[in-house]
Amino acid sequence: MMRTRLIAGNWKMHKTVAEAVEFVNDFRQAMPSSTAIDILLAPPFVSLFAIHQTMTANDRFTLAGQNLHWEKEGAFTGEISGPMLKALGCTFVLVGHSERRQLFGESNADVNNKVNAALEHGLGPIVCIGETLEERDAGKTQAIVKDQLLKGLSGLSAEKVSKITIAYEPVWAIGTGRAATIEQAEEVHTFIRATLTSEWGREVQDVRILYGGSVGPQNAEALFGCAEIDGALIGKACLDPATFAKICSLAVSAST
Ligand code: 13P
């Protein structure tokens, strides 16, 4: 079975609209044209419109939101809904990033609501899960990851789960320069795959499991060499067009 690798750039809270458009113009020049991988940009909401305006059918990347609210509209000051993201050309949306969980109090129940909303509005949810250093040191990695997975995807049919992407992002590896080793990532990815299969069966065997946490040109090749790793969710290293393009090229090399 072959899953197309997905390389996703999570810009977090970086770049103004003008900087975002400049990035995209530069990235178009530098990125690989291969169709062997999928490429996703997740800029801040305020830049989605301007980037979408520049896009053509020839573009080899698509857009994602970094978050969404579970209602489609209403009195939710400061929030953005699935239909709004869809109307701006988004195909995917991040759900439950560890920064949302840790800094903004998102629970597994919130993640579940958001996953349902994303699917309802035709967006592919990229569900982020991962343990803290304290949890890893206490030997709780698998228990935490399983809990986040089962609660975040609670009540979903196998058909719906088959449309989801999982991003395993150990919290201790995010923005620290201390990526998980290939063995550490492989072990958890294998566990996530086994958990998905035992809960939802073979219908979910093509769910992509991305790794995130200090991915850069220095470790991307080794990560993409691992059969369990279906791509990467990238923070810091996606902010520079040449660096992000380099990582995409390494994914192409690993896929062809
Ligand atoms: P870094 O690549 O900066 O470690 O961030 C990872 C991340 O959180 C992507 O969502």
Ligand 1 near 170 CB (within 6 A) = no
If one residue of 233, 238, 244 were mutated to test the ligand 1 pocket, choosing by the most ligand atoms within 8 A of its CB, it would be: 233
Bridge partners of residue 231, in order along the sequence = 6
75 Cα–ligand 1 center, Å? 31
Beta pairing class for 165-168 and 208-212: parallel
| Known catalytic residue at 97 | yes
What is the C-alpha to C-alpha distance for residues 68 and 168, in angstroms, rounded to an integer?
Answer: 19
213 CB within 6 A, ligand 1: yes
- Distance CA(89)–CA(48), nearest Å, equals 8
Q: Is 10 in the pocket of ligand 1 (CB under 6 A)?
A: yes
Task: Give the integer Cα–Cα distance in Å for 214 and 158.
Answer: 31
pLDDT at 1: 54
| 3-class DSSP assignment, residue 42 | strand
Tell me how crowded residue 150 is: count the other CB atoms within 10 A of its CB: 14
Which residue of the set 97, 106, 189, 228 is catalytic?
97
Distance CA 118, CA 161 (A): 12
Q: What is the DSSP letter of 90?
A: E
Q: Token pair of 159, please?
A: 């058909």
Q: Catalytic: 189?
A: no
> What is the DSSP-derived secondary structure letter of residue 65?
E
Which domains are seen in the chain, by residue range? 5-255 (3.20.20.70)
Residue 11 annotated as lining a ligand binding site: yes
- Closest residue to atom 2 of ligand 1, CA basis: 235
Cβ atoms 229, 211 nearer than 8 A: yes
Sign of the C-alpha dihedral, residues 94, 63, 232, 6? positive
CA of 175 to the centre of ligand 1 (A): 6
User: Going residue by residue through the chain (256 aa), what tens digit of pLDDT does each one get?
Assistant: 579 999 999 999 999 999 999 999 999 999 999 999 999 999 999 999 999 999 999 999 999 999 999 999 999 999 999 999 999 999 999 999 999 999 999 999 999 999 999 999 999 999 999 999 999 999 999 999 999 999 999 999 999 999 999 999 999 999 999 999 999 999 999 999 999 999 999 999 999 999 999 999 999 999 999 999 999 999 999 999 999 999 999 999 999 8
